[in-house]
């Protein structure tokens, strides 16, 4: 879970709200592009070394796990309850 203090959240929220409006009709390719561009901005504004690569890889892995735990699992469990378990 990304625990970010309120001041730091406020720093990003206006930009995220504008981005949210632009995401109407987003496709997997568009989402990939957006995430890739963010990562490239981080890469080019940081020391280009193993520590930065490890940081980015670690964040991506953690985001994926948290998404799975908080969004995917509850969604799949609700569908299993609705339609019945296959196993």
- Residue-wise pLDDT tens digits, 50-73: 999 999 999 999 999 999 999 999
Taking residues 26-50, report their average pLDDT: 96
Among residues 50, 46, 65, 45, which one has the least CA distance to residue 2?
65
For residue 85, the model assigns a pLDDT of: 94
For residue 52, the model assigns a pLDDT of: 98
For the cut 70, the answer to whether the pLDDT of residue 74 exceeds it is yes
Alpha helix positions (H), 45-72: 50-67
* Residue percentage of the chain with pLDDT more than 70: 99
**Where is pLDDT greater, at 21 or 72?**
72
């Amino acid at each position: 879970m990304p625990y970010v203090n309120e001041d730091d959240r406020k720093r990003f929220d206006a930009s995220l709200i504008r981005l949210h409006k632009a995401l109407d009709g987003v496709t997997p390719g568009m989402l990939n592009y957006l995430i890739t561009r963010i990562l490239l901005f981080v890469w080019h504004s940081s020391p280009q070394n193993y520590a930065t690569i490890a940081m980015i890889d670690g964040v991506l892995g953690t985001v994926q796990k948290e998404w799975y735990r908080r969004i995917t699992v509850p969604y799949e469990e609700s569908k299993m309850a609705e339609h019945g378990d296959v196993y």
